[in-house]
Amino acid sequence: MAKAFAPIVITANDLVEGDSVFLGPEGWTRDIRMARVARTAEEATALDASGAQGETQNLVVGPYRVEVSLETGAPVPVLRREQIRASGVPTIPVGPAAIEAAREAA
Amino acid sequence: MQLIDLTGRAQDRWAHVGDEDPIPAEGPVIVPAARLFEVAEGRETGIHVGNDTDPEDLVPLFDRLQLVSVAFPSFADGRGFSIGRKLRALGFDGTLRASGPVIADQFAYLIACGFDEVCIPDALAERQPPEQWEAARRLISAGYQRGLGAGRSILDARTGR
Amino acid sequence: MYRYDEFDHRFVQERVAEFRSQVTRRLDGSLNENEFKPLRLMNGLYLQLHAYMLRVAIPYGTLDSARMRMLAHIAEKWDRGYGHFTTRQNIQFNWPKLSDVPDILDALASVEMHAIQTSGNCIRNTTSDPYAGVAADEVEDPRITAELIRQWSSLHPEFTFLGRKFKIAVTGSAEDRTALKVHDIGIQIVRNTAGETGYRVLVGGGLGRTPMIAKELRAFLPREDLLPYLEAALRVYNLHGRRDNKYKARIKILVHEIGIEEYARQVEAEFAALDRDAIAAPVEEVARIAAYFAPPKLAARPAESTAFERARQVDPGFAAWASQNTFPHRVPGYVAATISLKPIGGAPGDATAEQMRAMADLAEKYSRDELRVTHEQNVVLPHVALDDLHSVYRGLAGVGLDAPNKGLVTDIVACPGLDYCALATARSIPVAQNIARRFGSTARQKEIGPLSIKISGCINACGHHHVGHIGILGLDKAGVESYQITLGGDATETAALGDRTGPGFGYDEVADVIEKLVDRYIELREVPQETFLQTYRRVGMEPFKEAIYATH
């Protein structure tokens, strides 16, 4: 039996702002929970085409597929890299918040 | 392909002859270096060379050549800049052409390295019309390097040379 | 310190206008991403995991207070209130918008700064010794040469689309504080037997996936030949370096494949054919630059300072900091003070806008308005009178920059890793933080002595792990972060690449493993003065391997 197709979403970076964005039902969204999920190879190919269009229209840069799990309903990336990317921030406090955290700890 | 030089969009009066094409009976031709022997001496002749060419190998041909076209397989492959500069240093005084998908933002560098013109794919010329090339070329009025063909170096301007 | 003249100002302003035009043409589609990417990289602009990242050049690591304050301003106005100082003496901002970058570059130009060639396949920011003009063993201030190279390499028409990036470092001292031997070209200012000043030129060093130590290309190059010789060296690389494989495109691979003798032969042949006088910098120009780097006129002071001695006795925190974070100055009564950007639990190399302003204020008041960035991701105040050192320390303590750990186990170099970087395969910053917390006690750090830990979050080695006494390389093993350890690396004049201990460790194990290595070193060292590196060189890998792999 062929291996089951792992669901995917399409991500890219916004051309102007640089943020991670995901292909949603109505254009690109910053919230992966709003992303369109492809559950079959055919659906994924169709999403690829929409993603590529975003690039030719100079909206986004470098669209690619991200494998997601749907266990909790909303799509969650499988790989740590994509989890961090979808979260939009580093895994640790940074900048002034980090200094504040260190002061409180001390 | 579209030809752009310092005057803007230019008419390409040279016939481009590939590896297999027949050589036209008359008029200026650019042939692959290996086919130079097929072109009668005395005719207006150019050769097209790859960017792995050793410029010194071309020195014996300089008398016969009115044009050298250097291949830029990609704008990111900058070997042709060194080839152009070396050809000029070795004494080539004919037309130097950069052929391939170079971009407007490289025009000033190409001119500085001794090139006279670029021959670019049509689709690229459509996105980047001659006005963009002209504008991009003029954005930086002087560079620091000395010993380049075009323009005055900042170092020379400072010392009044 | 170098100041722009009308030509430099115009050049940088035109460069900003050029980038503004490139951004406009990118947004209207005249330039596609494939074409725009190398152009934005050549202006320091990356697209990272979460956002664009702008790397600003700090030529040879030298700053004044106005420039540092501008960096703080940029951090607040266009970023998220902080920046990250890098191993190549630059600073990067992690959250700018593409549409704001031309304005950021304008702001930088107003204080004589830019982001030219901080990335891309071109000649990068020329780095140098953070103790330039301070160190007693210096033949000449290396920044004169570095500034000459900065100008020559800026938008060099022939060398702006090289096969790969090209990094040059310059030092004026035999004791190397620039990681000279892991640069594409390393330049050491030397004096020959006739007493003339010139250059020893090294080539082909680099880290990344194929780390190599540089080899000597020229034992002595007359100083007037510098630029023609660099043109010859770059031209041979540009024409003959590999273009078929990105990972084999650095000059180190060319030099390795054809051999240093053959590479040197080709460079010398090219050099002999050049019109040197047409290319070399005029002597007046070199003299003009040199005048900017004349040693500051520091008022004579007694070598001992009673204010300093008194402060040391009443303030033990200051005493610890002063003994660890200072470097001898050639002028009696002064020191160069290192501001550690490695507070325990912080992100190595990060500074907030508030901290940048505090550093700027201290530099203005106590260090002849000068600051230096080091390749260890710290900042140096180069000219501090001993009498003022306690005031400097208190100023730093007020903003959390008083860590007394320069060169110690918690002075960790780390790349941004998977928390920021699109290329990373594992996290680096939290690993550094875990290790730093483990060794947080100042007394324990002091007992361990000099120990450099360097962490990279992928094989590209931005964290210089190959040349850490202990190197840590984060990889991805089937979706799980795995950390390889190397021992015995050295970035100085006795440069060496670290040896791998063996299989990697999980994210949660790294701090334990480092502690075991350190404990084993303490057991093994013959005298407390024997450093980790010396012990490793004496006893080799086996006892360390046993410490971390043996099942007890």
Domains, chain C, in order of start with CATH, read 6-109 (3.90.480.20), 134-292 (3.30.413.10), 306-397 (3.90.480.20), 413-549 (3.30.413.10)
The whole-angstrom distance between B42's CA and the closest CA on chain C is 31
Chain C and chain A touch, per 3+ beta carbon pairs within 8 A = yes
Which chain C residue is nearest to residue B53, measuring alpha carbons?
A: C239
Q: Does residue C420 surpass a pLDDT of 90? A: yes
State the pLDDT confidence band at A2, using cuts at 50, 70 and 90.
low
Q: How far apart are CA C32 and CA C17, in angstroms?
A: 19
State the pLDDT confidence band at A91, using cuts at 50, 70 and 90.
very high
What is the pLDDT averaged over residues C251-258?
98
Chain C CB contacts of A94 below 8 Å: 80, 82, 94, 347, 350, 419
Q: Average pLDDT, whole number, for chain B?
A: 95
Condensed to tens digits (0 to 9), the pLDDT of residues C270-303 reads 999 999 999 999 999 999 999 999 999 999 899 8
Any idea which of A6-15, B146-155, C37-46, C386-395 has the lowest mean pLDDT?
B146-155
Q: How far apart are CA C302 and CA C291, in angstroms?
A: 28
Amino acid (one-letter) located at C368: R
What is the pLDDT averaged over residues C304-325?
97
What is the pLDDT averaged over residues C393-419?
97
Q: Does residue A105 surpass a pLDDT of 80? A: no
- Residue A53 confidence (pLDDT): 96
Distance of CA C103 to the CA centre of its chain: 26
Q: What are phi and psi of C456, to 5 degrees?
A: -115, 140
State the pLDDT confidence band at A80, using cuts at 50, 70 and 90.
very high
- Residue C286 confidence (pLDDT): 97
Q: How far apart are CA C122 and CA C458, in angstroms?
A: 22
Q: Are C24 and C101 in contact (CB under 8 A)?
A: no
Q: Does residue C319 surpass a pLDDT of 60? A: yes
Contact C81 A16 (CB under 8 A): no
- The answer to whether C92 contacts chain A (CB < 8 Å) is no
Closest of C117, C150, C11 to residue B157, by C-alpha? C11
Amino acid (one-letter) located at C455: I
The whole-angstrom distance between C445's CA and the closest CA on chain A is 18
- Residue C552 confidence (pLDDT): 55
Q: Tokens 């005057």 sit at which residue? A: B7
Tokens of C459: 């094989």
Q: How far apart are CA C184 and CA C207, in angstroms?
A: 10
Q: What whole-number percentage of chain C has pLDDT above 70?
A: 100
State the pLDDT confidence band at A106, using cuts at 50, 70 and 90.
low
What is the pLDDT averaged over residues B106-119?
97
- Residue A102 confidence (pLDDT): 73
Q: Which chains touch A (3 or more CB pairs under 8 A)?
A: C
Chain C CB contacts of B146 below 8 Å: 227, 278-281
Closest of C472, C439, C446, C441 to residue C458, by C-alpha? C472
Q: Which chains touch B (3 or more CB pairs under 8 A)?
A: C
Contact A96 C81 (CB under 8 A): yes
Beta-carbon contacts below 8 Å between B and C: 121
Domains, chain B, in order of start with CATH, read 2-158 (3.40.50)
For residue C38, the tally of other CB atoms under 10 A from its CB is 18
State the pLDDT confidence band at A101, using cuts at 50, 70 and 90.
confident
Q: Does residue A100 surpass a pLDDT of 90? A: no
Question: Of A61, A80, A90, which is closest to C33 when you measure between CB atoms?
Answer: A61
Question: Of A18, A92, A105, which is closest to C51 when you measure between CB atoms?
Answer: A18
- Residue B150 confidence (pLDDT): 66
Q: How far apart are CA C423 and CA C409, in angstroms?
A: 27
Q: Does residue A1 surpass a pLDDT of 60? A: no
Question: Of A20, A91, A105, which is closest to C430 when you measure between CB atoms?
Answer: A91
What is the pLDDT averaged over residues C209-223?
97
Domain ranges for chain A:
8-105
First CA to last CA distance, chain B: 40
Question: Of C49, C81, C343, which is closest to A102 when you measure between CB atoms?
Answer: C343
For residue C338, the tally of other CB atoms under 10 A from its CB is 27
- Residue A10 confidence (pLDDT): 98
- Residue A4 confidence (pLDDT): 83
Q: Tokens 């725009």 sit at which residue? A: C36
Q: Does residue C313 surpass a pLDDT of 60? A: yes
Condensed to tens digits (0 to 9), the pLDDT of residues C144-201 reads 999 999 999 999 999 999 999 999 999 999 999 999 999 999 999 999 999 999 999 9
Q: Are B120 and B1 in contact (CB under 8 A)?
A: yes
Q: Which of C25, C30, C32, C33 to mutate to test the interface with A (most CBs of A within 10 A)?
A: C33
Handedness of CA C105, C110, C113, C117 (dihedral sign): positive
Q: What whole-number percentage of chain B has pLDDT above 90?
A: 93
Task: Check residue B56 and report its DSSP letter.
Answer: G
Query: What ipTM is given for this predicted complex?
Result: 0.97
State the pLDDT confidence band at A99, using cuts at 50, 70 and 90.
confident
Interface of C with B in 422-461 (CB under 8 A): none
Q: C531: exposed, middle or buried (C-beta count within 10 Å: 0-12, 13-18, 19+)?
A: middle
Question: Of B75, B132, B159, which is closest to C285 when you measure between CB atoms?
Answer: B159
Q: Are C153 and C125 in contact (CB under 8 A)?
A: no
Interface of C with B in 18-57 (CB under 8 A): 18, 21-22, 25, 29-32, 35, 38-39
State the pLDDT confidence band at C551, using cuts at 50, 70 and 90.
confident
Q: Does residue C116 surpass a pLDDT of 70? A: yes
Condensed to tens digits (0 to 9), the pLDDT of residues C19-46 reads 999 999 999 999 999 999 999 999 999 9
Contact C279 B141 (CB under 8 A): no
Contact C29 A58 (CB under 8 A): yes
Tokens of A55: 């690039």
What is the pLDDT averaged over residues A45-62?
96
Q: Average pLDDT, whole number, for chain C?
A: 97
Contact C21 B140 (CB under 8 A): no
Q: Does residue A74 surpass a pLDDT of 70? A: yes
What is the pLDDT averaged over residues C348-364?
98
Q: How far apart are CA C478 and CA A79, in angstroms?
A: 10
State the pLDDT confidence band at C53, using cuts at 50, 70 and 90.
very high
Condensed to tens digits (0 to 9), the pLDDT of residues A22-42 reads 999 999 999 999 999 999 999
Distance of CA C413 to the CA centre of its chain: 10
* Long-range contacts of the stretch C92-95 (C-beta < 8 A, 24+): C92/C44, C92/C53, C92/C54, C92/C55, C92/C56, C93/C53, C93/C54, C93/C56, C94/A94, C94/C48, C94/C50, C94/C51, C94/C53, C94/C416, C94/C420, C95/A18, C95/C50, C95/C51, C95/C52, C95/C53
The whole-angstrom distance between C127's CA and the closest CA on chain B is 19
State the pLDDT confidence band at C70, using cuts at 50, 70 and 90.
very high
Q: Which of A69, A94, A104 to mutate to test the interface with C (most CBs of C within 10 A)?
A: A94
